[in-house]
Amino acid sequence: MSSTLTPLSRRRFVQALGAGTLAASAPGILRAQKGARVIVIGAGLSGLAAALVLQDAGVKVKVIEGRQRVGGRIMSIRSLPGNPEAGGTSFGPGYARLVNAAKTYNVGLVELTPVLRYYGTRELFLDGQHIPLNEWPDHPRNPFPTDARKTPPWRYIAGVTAKANPLKTTDAWVDPANAGLDISYYDWLKAQGQSDAIIDLAYNIEPTHGSSAHDVSALMMMQVASFIAAQRSLAVPGQSPFLTAAGGNQSIPEAMAGALNQEIEFGRNVESIRSENDLAEVHCADGTIYKADYVICSVPCPVLRRIHMEPLLTGAQARAVQTLDSQIINQAHMRAKTPFWEADGKAPNMFSDGLVCNLVGEHKGQTPAEVSSLTAWIRGHNAALLDQMPEADAKAAIIADIERLRPAAKGQLEIVEYKSWYRDPFSSGDWAVWQPGQIAGFANAVAQPNGRVHFCGEHTAVSNRGMEGAMESGERVALEVLNRT
């Protein structure tokens, strides 16, 4: 059989199966030769998905992980009620692979319908001042056009993108025919008639990708919009559009890990990967060396660029590994000593142009109305600023910013868990961020095998994003390896 699926055939294969999983069909299509051995680097969703497909096909699989836990960028905060998420906050019924994994490995799913209304309202703070939403349509800081002046800042830009999005399918972003859209999101928004004031307020304060609209590709944002639209189209009437896993979303990769025949080896910090004619080797910082027929590497590009590869990566794939970055984002998960939002008569949630762009009251307690904890989200340039500080100073800055805007919160907040994804050495950021020109430059090369080494991870997904994208990539890479055994 051929050594690998080409990027185009891979996309068609994934798309042909729609929302279904490849894992269910793989064992019937391909069986490994007796004795095939594979090392999987990384115990996140993509690595675990690949390992389980291979195991079901008869491959001997060993998963190694640098951290002391499974899940990768799925991380549930077990020290707070309801296990709020530091990565992978929720998912929908359209995440077919993820939902199937939960059901297969007996992880309960929790519908979020009872609490959704509590997340829908945020208090608006600009220039240090509270702006009641009923005053926003006529407020002098409102830059939106007449027909959108009632729209709060955090909802505006997604609507603009969805309305003008030219992509018809979720995999169209890697089609060379759309390479002309691989410009900055800023330039594309300006072409849609959006002013600098609108872009600053509606995107740059709380950038979902990159640090501003200047450093993220418009084509990527269109794919995000396409994926969201596809997920909505898969929603089942009467079923919750948002789900989490019982015990936190980390429970899903934990259950997947429990289904492996061999225990995961933790604390394995990979320093080099060598691929020869008939053997692959993985060398770790503690001196451990693994030998196998093939290696599957699920680490993101900012981490992979610190791993020595033999043979060296070349061409577009080398450029991808050296330049594709991941989202800088920080979170502070907090316990409130008293419900200060009741004292100041406002919702706990807020949108601000200060340090904490988004404060969320988590509703994961005994009743839907109960605020079980608070999560501060810091993105873009503000996250980069915090990453230059000692952690104690970063925590103090977060609390001081909330207290500045919400005086009733003074002395009431305790940070239980602080997470900088950039400073995590095994992720160096969260989800992949494609800058202008990168999609046309190397999106179709990032997942190419290098000798006996194959690559997966959400940054290699084609038709899906986030947790579902990670699962898609794991299944795809497993089939690539099975094609070679």
164-187 pLDDT, tens digit per residue, is 999 999 999 999 999 999 999 999
- The whole-angstrom separation of Cα 196 and Cα 227 is 27
- Asked whether residue 85 is assigned to any structural domain, the reply reads no
Name residue 308's beta-bridge partners: 272
> What pLDDT was estimated at residue 241?
86
Residue 32 has pLDDT above 70, yes or no: no
E runs forming strands in 96-188: 109-111, 123-126, 129-131
- The whole-angstrom separation of Cα 439 and Cα 179 is 7
> What pLDDT was estimated at residue 234?
87
- Asked whether residue 221 is assigned to any structural domain, the reply reads yes
- Asked whether residue 275 is assigned to any structural domain, the reply reads yes
Question: In the block, which residue shows the tokens 């061409």?
Answer: 315
- Cβ-in-10-Å burial (0-12, 13-18, 19+) of 128 comes to exposed
Average pLDDT of the chain is 93
pLDDT tens for each residue of 353-377: 999 999 999 999 999 999 999 999 9
Do 29 and 48 sit in the same domain of this protein? yes
H-run or E-run covering 417? strand 413-420
* 408's tokens: 């009733």
Residue 31 has pLDDT above 60, yes or no: no
Name residue 331's beta-bridge partners: 377, 419
Q: Band of the pLDDT at 219, cuts 50, 70, 90? A: very high
- The whole-angstrom separation of Cα 282 and Cα 287 is 10
Q: Band of the pLDDT at 5, cuts 50, 70, 90? A: very low
> What pLDDT was estimated at residue 185?
98
- The whole-angstrom separation of Cα 34 and Cα 296 is 19
CB 414 within 8 A of CB 80: no
> What pLDDT was estimated at residue 238?
77
Q: Which of 42, 45, 41 is nearest to 87 (CA)?
A: 45
- Asked whether residue 390 is assigned to any structural domain, the reply reads yes
Which domain-ending residue is among 373, 398, 420?
Answer: 420
Beta strand pairing status for 453-455 and 294-297? parallel
Do 297 and 253 sit in the same domain of this protein? yes
* 160's tokens: 């603009």
What 402-406 contacts at long range (C-beta under 8 Å, 24+ apart), as own/partner pairs, is 402/356, 402/359, 402/376, 404/128, 404/354, 405/125, 405/128, 405/130, 405/350, 405/352, 405/354, 406/340, 406/341, 406/344, 406/346, 406/350
For the chain, the helix, strand and coil percentages under 3-state DSSP, each to the nearest 5: 35, 20, 45
Which domain-ending residue is among 169, 199, 233?
Answer: 233
Which domain-ending residue is among 370, 395, 420?
Answer: 420
- Asked whether residue 93 is assigned to any structural domain, the reply reads no
Do 318 and 173 sit in the same domain of this protein? no
CATH number of the domain that residue 346 is part of: 3.90.660.10
> What pLDDT was estimated at residue 27?
42
- Asked whether residue 111 is assigned to any structural domain, the reply reads no
Do 203 and 277 sit in the same domain of this protein? no
CB 157 within 8 A of CB 201: no
- The whole-angstrom separation of Cα 454 and Cα 480 is 8
Residue 112 has pLDDT above 70, yes or no: yes
pLDDT tens for each residue of 131-170: 999 999 999 999 999 999 999 999 999 999 999 999 999 9
Q: Which of 27-41, 138-152, 425-439 has the lowest mean pLDDT?
A: 27-41
Do 156 and 127 sit in the same domain of this protein? no
Do 298 and 255 sit in the same domain of this protein? yes
- The whole-angstrom separation of Cα 459 and Cα 435 is 13
Do 333 and 321 sit in the same domain of this protein? no
Q: Band of the pLDDT at 398, cuts 50, 70, 90? A: very high
pLDDT tens for each residue of 260-292: 999 999 999 999 999 998 999 999 999 999 999
The full length of the chain comes to 485
- Cβ-in-10-Å burial (0-12, 13-18, 19+) of 35 comes to exposed
Residue 313 has pLDDT above 90, yes or no: yes
CA distances to 66, 90, 274 from 98, rounded to whole Å, are 23, 11, 32
Q: Band of the pLDDT at 30, cuts 50, 70, 90? A: low
- The whole-angstrom separation of Cα 181 and Cα 190 is 13
Do 333 and 415 sit in the same domain of this protein? yes
Categorise residue 240: left if φ over 0, alpha if ψ from -120 to 50, beta otherwise: beta
Determine the 3-state secondary structure of 308 from DSSP: strand
pLDDT tens for each residue of 459-471: 999 999 999 999 9
* 7's tokens: 């990027």
Do 160 and 175 sit in the same domain of this protein? yes
Do 136 and 147 sit in the same domain of this protein? no
- Asked whether residue 269 is assigned to any structural domain, the reply reads yes
- Asked whether residue 2 is assigned to any structural domain, the reply reads no
The distance of Cα 67 from the centroid of its chain, to the nearest Å, equals 18
- The whole-angstrom separation of Cα 277 and Cα 98 is 36
Do 351 and 406 sit in the same domain of this protein? yes
CATH number of the domain that residue 456 is part of: 3.50.50.60
- The whole-angstrom separation of Cα 283 and Cα 357 is 41
Do 271 and 132 sit in the same domain of this protein? no
Q: Band of the pLDDT at 237, cuts 50, 70, 90? A: confident
Query: Buried b vs exposed e over 190-218: b needs ≥16 C-beta within 10 Å?
Result: eeeebeeebbebbbbbbbbbbbbbebbbb
Share of the chain above pLDDT 90, in %: 89
Domain that holds residue 152: 143-233
How many folded domains does the chain comprise?
Answer: 3
Determine the 3-state secondary structure of 252 from DSSP: helix
